[in-house]
């Protein structure tokens, strides 16, 4: 961390003569002005870009799912794009069983004041796997875990992909999938029995809180207590 | 809505001139009077009911009138667990642990529809009534209940406390969950308590 920290000013890369942002009016439902990054993506990645949709002025680029990491990397690094903020990772499953499951990334370029939505389609019958972009945006850690927890989508390359909302031993499946019953698969007494059998304190350990690495920075008395074997939880 | 008048046996008349500053009473009455008027709450607020609970504790409704202004954020110094809000299954072992950490005598108020029955959240994630996890003394209906509703529940609990008898040891029996399943009531009873009711019986079991 030798380089100096520079705050990102929204829109500063768009140039001094760029117009001030205004609330858009009379936005067409389809075929509005696309985000300029979409053409850049099409030039750079070609066949990996399946389609570009503009709906209500927002650009959605549907990409080949194997290329997601490279595309996000390029959007992040390219000086003409600078998508430095990933605000959401989620998935969509449709009631129509023929339609593929979509994984959605919401990217925002603060320096250019741009918003871009990436989608990757996973056809039915194929393994629910997409590349993780954790190595580019560290903030997607918990979002990818939530997406895995709710939809069962595996983010290949995520360092610690486990459930985040439901407990880790949760056996009933992935709650936001369309084939998941609203009340769950088990009886209420069985659900309660499994819930009471979880050990919530097992993860609130030094490992989970990552204070093991910071052990040397702790106050001496705390270090002494923890070093003497005092443990929180089971 | 209103309370029945207090039984006459609970009234002590003090006449300092004739009694020279001493009174006689029953030990049960004295202990219960002290307990009922100093119920320290353990607030277990998980949702919007907790906002109403905070309003009850604030100056306008003023829980201090009941000797409850001292919120006990440690279960070991608490008398009454007030569960305000829905409890997801992930919190079930937590509220169970908090209840077990509270020393006797202890009571529990289930505040609001979600804590009492699961409310509108008849889904995979929410416990259908905390009475499937811990014993509950007073249920306060409402979504969320107004502070008046909570105060009424608290006064009902005070009435309950005032009717307790020290000779009745069974009041202080600690809940003993089944060692293998950790349930304290039979599974069939939990399934019965958790049956869908009202509008939610029309919901399908599956999205497909």
Write phi, then psi, for B56 (nearest 5 degrees): -65, -35
Alpha helices in chain B (DSSP H): 16-19, 27-36, 48-57, 92-101, 112-117, 147-162, 187-193
Alpha helices in B42-183 (DSSP H): 48-57, 92-101, 112-117, 147-162
Mean pLDDT of B104-124: 91
- Is the torsion defined by CA of A132, A135, A139, A142 positive or negative? positive
Q: What is the mean pLDDT of chain B?
A: 86
* Nearest CA among B78, B80, B86 for reference residue B108: B80
| Closest-CA distance of chain B to residue A195, Å | 6
Give the pLDDT of residue B208.
45
- Length of chain B equals 208
**What's residue A22's pLDDT?**
86
Q: Is the pLDDT of residue B203 over 80?
A: no
Predicted confidence (pLDDT) per residue in B37-64, tens digit = 999 999 999 999 999 999 999 999 999 9
- Nearest Cα of chain B lies from the Cα of A125 at a distance, in angstroms, of 17
Nearest to B132 among A192, A194, A197 (CB): A192
Q: Which domains does chain B have, with CATH numbers?
A: 38-166+176-193 (3.40.50.12280)
Verify whether the Cβ–Cβ distance B207 to A95 is below 8 Å: yes
Q: What is the pLDDT of residues B182-196, one digit of tens each?
A: 899 999 988 888 887
Residue B30 pLDDT > 70, yes or no?
yes
**pTM to 2 decimals?**
0.80
pLDDT at residue B164 above 70? yes
pLDDT at B7 over 60: no
Pairwise CB contact (< 8 Å): B124 & A180: yes
- A199 to B133: CB separation less than 8 angstroms, yes or no: no
β-bridge pairing A85-92 and A101-109: antiparallel
Going by C-beta distance under 8 Å and a sequence separation of 6 or more, which residues neighbour residue A126?
none
Helix ranges restricted to H, chain A:
36-45, 68-77, 141-151, 188-197, 206-209, 220-227
Q: How far is CA B145 from the centre of its chain?
A: 14
Q: How far is Cα B145 from Cα B138, in angstroms, rounded to an integer?
A: 13
∠B181-B182-B186 over CA atoms, to 5°? 70
Please say whether the beta carbons of A37 and A75 come within 8 A: yes
Q: Is A180 on the interface with B (CB under 8 A)?
A: yes
The domain segmentation of chain A, as residue ranges, is 7-17+25-164
Hey, what's the torsion of the CAs at B15, B18, B23, B29, to 10 degrees? -50
**Chain A contact set for B95 (CB, 8 A):** none
Contact between chains at B124 and A175 (C-beta distance less than 8 A): yes
pLDDT at residue B207, rounded to an integer: 46
Alpha helix (H) residue ranges in A46-83: 68-77
CB contact under 8 A, B208 and A189: no
CB-based contact, A182 to chain B, within 8 Å: yes
Q: Looking at residue A162, what is its pLDDT?
A: 86
Rounded Cα distance, A144 and A155, in Å: 7
State which residues of chain A have pLDDT below 50: 231-234
More confident residue, B111 or A208: B111
Give the other-Cβ count within 10 Å of A177's Cβ. Answer: 16
Four-CA torsion B93, B95, B98, B99, nearest 10 degrees: -110
User: How far, in Å, CA of B121 to CA of A209, rounded?
Assistant: 31
Q: Is the pLDDT of residue B8 over 80?
A: no
- pLDDT tens for each residue of B64-104: 988 888 898 899 999 999 999 999 999 999 999 899 999 98
For the A7-17+25-164 domain, the top CATH level (class) is alpha beta
**Chain B residues whose C-beta sits inside 8 Å of any chain A C-beta:** 89-90, 92-94, 96, 122-125, 127-128, 132-133, 177, 181-183, 187-188, 190-191, 193-194, 196, 203-208
pLDDT at B103: 92
Minimal-distance CA residue of chain B relative to A176: B207
């Amino acid at each position: 961390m030798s380089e100096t920290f520079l705050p990102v000013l929204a829109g500063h890369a768009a140039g001094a003569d760029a117009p001030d942002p205004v609330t858009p009016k009379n936005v067409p439902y389809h075929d509005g002005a696309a985000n300029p990054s979409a053409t850049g993506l099409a030039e750079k990645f070609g066949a990996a870009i399946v389609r570009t949709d503009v709906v209500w002025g927002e650009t959605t680029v549907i990409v080949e799912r194997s290329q997601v990491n490279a595309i996000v990397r390029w959007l992040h690094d390219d000086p003409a794009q600078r998508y430095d903020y990933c605000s959401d990772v989620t998935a969509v499953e449709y009631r129509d069983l023929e339609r593929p499951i979509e994984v959605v990334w919401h990217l925002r370029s603060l320096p250019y004041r741009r918003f871009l939505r990436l989608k990757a389609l996973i056809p039915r019958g194929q393994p629910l796997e997409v590349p993780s972009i954790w190595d580019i945006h560290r903030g997607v850690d918990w979002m990818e875990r939530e997406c895995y927890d709710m939809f069962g989508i595996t983010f290949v390359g995520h360092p610690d992909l486990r459930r985040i909302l439901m407990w880790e031993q949760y056996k009933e499946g992935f709650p936001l999938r369309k084939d998941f019953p609203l009340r769950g698969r088990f009886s209420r007494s069985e659900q309660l029995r499994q819930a009471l059998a979880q050990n919530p304190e097992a993860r609130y350990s030094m490992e989970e809180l990552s204070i093991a690495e910071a052990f040397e920075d702790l106050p001496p008395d705390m270090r002494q207590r923890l070093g003497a074997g005092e443990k929180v939880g089971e | 809505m209103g309370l029945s008048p207090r039984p006459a046996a609970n009234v002590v008349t003090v006449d300092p001139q004739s009694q020279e500053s001493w009174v006689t009473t029953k030990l049960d009455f004295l202990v219960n009077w002290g307990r009922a008027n100093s119920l320290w709450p353990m607030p277990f607020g998980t949702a919007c009911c907790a906002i109403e609970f905070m309003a009850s504790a604030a100056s306008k409704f003023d829980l201090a009138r009941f000797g409850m202004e001292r919120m006990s954020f440690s279960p070991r110094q608490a008398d009454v667990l007030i569960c305000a809000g829905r409890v997801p299954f992930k919190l079930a072992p937590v509220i169970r642990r908090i209840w077990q950490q509270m020393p006797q005598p202890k009571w529990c108020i289930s505040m609001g529809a979600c804590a009492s029955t699961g409310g509108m959240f008849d889904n995979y994630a929410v416990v259908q009534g905390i009475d499937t996890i811990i014993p509950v003394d007073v249920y306060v209906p409402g979504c969320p209940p107004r502070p008046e509703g909570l105060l009424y529940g608290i006064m009902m609990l005070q009435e309950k406390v005032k009717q307790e008898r020290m000779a009745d040891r069974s009041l202080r029996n600690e809940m003993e969950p089944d060692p293998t399943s950790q349930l304290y009531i039979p599974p069939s009873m939990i399934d019965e308590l958790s049956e869908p009711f009202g509008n939610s019986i029309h919901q399908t079991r599956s999205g497909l």
